[in-house]
């Protein structure tokens, strides 16, 4: 999709549809909206759309009145959703081009970037493997800012990079397990890295054995698909900080649960168990283009968790790279095992700050539903950094506790630590487990099990992967200040 910025009056913009945000309690009278507002047909409620054809005095073929909810709560994140929803609405009407009007206080760089992101995100469809010729897409999108300043061109470019990287993540996460085993995921990371000028290294079984990654290898041993640890490096030309940010993402390309096998219902969604890893690859794609003055390295452990004849069993004890021994009480708690070795390796490679993201527990979905990702941290300053970045990008996260009391549930007489506790506080005990391998390095764990994908389509997004938390990770890197 071609994204452009236009500073001429909205009435002069020739396009398939001009998107005009309208708000609850506000009497929009321009662009032929007055009769619909007066009749109550258009109330300005969020995700409410009304399409006007051949409006008088407007060069656009149509005007789309797009509800933004209450004006006082309308921020860049809400604009992103409004534009994405409007684009999806217009695509169904076979509209090929559109523009959105941003004026007054909504002509800032933050809003302009969000508008560009919304257009690209709304245009995404998870239909890569469909063979029909009925695929719909917008060819061009214009952000109309009559009051816009010169630097808004940079905002357009930033928004395009972020959204395209988020869509890259969504497309990768949507690939079925037969087409994306661990080594194919590694190949996709290599290809992206080569295109974006990043260094990429893939550690395969022999190297993982040499490094002593028994936790990762234990998960992988039941599958015929070999494991891999993807390492992607970004180094700025001139660093403004001594910090080295490590991004660690769970890459279980399919999770049957292993010997502790999952129920068959819904198991097809376990192709999404690599959404955390996909997000790290997508974040690195954006970081490479936006070039923050901060060293960033991504670590994505990739495995397939299968119940083969060689699969690890409940009760097995493995030795992680850090030297800790782990009793595997449940082979379906595999994500924390591969992350344990990846976190240790990230520390070994000199990372001074860590963020991991994983579709880790069903317990976080019970706690927070599909609205917020769970955020856990061993360091208040690092927690606040990530929360600021998340709020700036409209990716909702909620800080969760890590009280020492919860560690009691992971004690076992047979090893240093067990990989599960009781069913109560399961997301917390999973985070406590990971904290053992982050050690004293400032670290944030994002449990995205409830937010990494949608079971049902929403007005602004189709069913499938969301791409969260790509935008938060990129904002974290680009806004980093010591």
**In this predicted model, what pLDDT tens digit does every residue of 426-472 receive, in sequence order?**
999 999 999 999 999 999 999 999 999 999 999 999 999 999 999 99
Q: What is the pLDDT of residue 150?
A: 66
- The question of whether 383 is a catalytic residue gets the answer no
Alpha carbon of residue 340 to chain centroid: 21
pLDDT per position as a tens digit, 357-402: 999 999 999 999 999 999 999 999 999 999 999 999 999 999 999 9
Catalytic residue among 170, 271, 336, 475: 336
Check pLDDT > 90 for residue 31: no
Check pLDDT > 70 for residue 29: no
Percent of the chain beyond pLDDT 70?
99
Question: What is the CATH number that goes with domain 163-478?
Answer: 3.40.630.10
Q: Where in the chain is CATH 3.40.630.10?
A: 163-478
Catalytic residue among 184, 262, 324, 407: 262
- The question of whether 262 is a catalytic residue gets the answer yes
Architecture of domain 2-147: 3-Layer(aba) Sandwich (3.40)
What φ, ψ does residue 207 adopt, rounded to 5°?
A: -70, -40
Check pLDDT > 80 for residue 294: yes
d(CA 83, CA 68): 10
Q: Where in the chain is CATH 3.40.220.10?
A: 2-147
- Beta strand 2-6 pairing with 62-67: unpaired
Other residues' Cβ atoms within 10 Å of the Cβ of residue 126: 16
d(CA 274, CA 403): 28
CA atoms within 13 A on the CB side of 400: 25
Q: What is the pLDDT of residue 444?
A: 99
Check pLDDT > 80 for residue 127: yes
Number of H helices, E strands in the chain: 13, 20
For 46-181, strand residue ranges (E) read 49-53, 62-67, 97-101, 140-144
Residue labelled with tokens 């904002």: 475
Check pLDDT > 90 for residue 151: no
Q: CA nearest 336: which of 345, 346, 326?
A: 326
Where do runs of H (alpha helix) occur along 148-249?
A: 152-174, 182-196, 205-210, 214-220
Check pLDDT > 90 for residue 148: no
């Amino acid at each position: 999709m071609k994204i452009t910025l236009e500073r001429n009056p909205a009435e002069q913009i020739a396009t398939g549809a001009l998107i005009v945000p309208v708000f609850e309690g506000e009497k929009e009278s321009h662009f032929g909206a007055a009769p619909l507002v007066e009749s109550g047909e258009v109330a300005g409620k969020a995700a409410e759309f009304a399409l006007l054809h051949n409006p008088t005095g407007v060069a656009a073929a149509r005007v789309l009145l797009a509800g933004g909810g209450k004006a006082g709560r309308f921020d860049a994140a809400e604009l992103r959703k409004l534009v994405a929803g409007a684009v999806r609405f217009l695509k169904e009407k076979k509209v090929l081009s559109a523009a959105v009007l941003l004026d007054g206080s909504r002509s800032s760089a933050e809003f302009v970037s969000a508008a560009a992101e919304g257009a690209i995100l709304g245009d995404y469809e998870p239909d890569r493997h469909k063979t029909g010729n009925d695929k719909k897409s917008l060819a061009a999108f214009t952000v109309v800012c009559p009051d816009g300043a010169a630097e808004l061109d940079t905002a357009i470019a930033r928004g395009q990079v972020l959204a395209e990287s988020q869509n890259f993540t969504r497309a990768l996460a949507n690939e079925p397990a037969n087409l994306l085993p661990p080594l194919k995921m590694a190949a996709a990371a290599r290809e992206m890295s080569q295109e974006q000028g990043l260094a990429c290294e893939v550690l395969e079984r022999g190297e993982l054995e040499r490094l002593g990654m028994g936790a990762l290898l234990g998960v992988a041993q039941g599958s015929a698909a070999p494991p891999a640890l993807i390492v992607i490096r970004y180094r700025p030309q001139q660093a403004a900080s001594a910090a080295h940010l490590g991004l660690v993402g769970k890459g279980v390309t399919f999770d049957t649960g292993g010997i502790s096998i999952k129920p068959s219902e819904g198991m097809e969604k376990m192709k999404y168990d690599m959404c955390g890893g996909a997000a790290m690859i997508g974040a690195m794609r954006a970081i490479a283009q936006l070039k923050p003055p901060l060293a960033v390295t991504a670590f994505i452990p990739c495995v397939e968790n299968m119940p083969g004849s060689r699969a690890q069993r409940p009760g097995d004890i493995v030795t992680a790279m850090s030297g800790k021994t782990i009793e595997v009480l449940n082979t379906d708690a595999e994500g924390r095992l591969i992350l344990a070795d990846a976190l240790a390796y990230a520390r070994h490679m000199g990372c001074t700050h860590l963020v991991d993201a994983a579709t880790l527990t069903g317990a976080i979905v019970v706690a927070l539903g599909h609205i917020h990702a769970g955020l856990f941290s061993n360091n208040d300053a690092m927690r606040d950094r990530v929360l600021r970045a998340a709020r700036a990008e409209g990716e909702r996260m909620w800080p969760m506790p890590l009280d020492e009391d919860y560690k009691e549930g992971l004690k076992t007489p047979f090893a240093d630590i067990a990989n599960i506790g009781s069913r109560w506080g399961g997301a917390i005990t999973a985070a406590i487990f990971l904290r053992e391998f982050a050690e004293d390095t400032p670290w944030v764990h994002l449990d995205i099990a409830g937010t990494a994908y949608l079971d049902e389509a929403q007005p602004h997004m189709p069913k499938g992967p969301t791409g969260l938390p790509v935008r938060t990770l990129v904002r974290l890197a680009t806004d980093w200040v010591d």
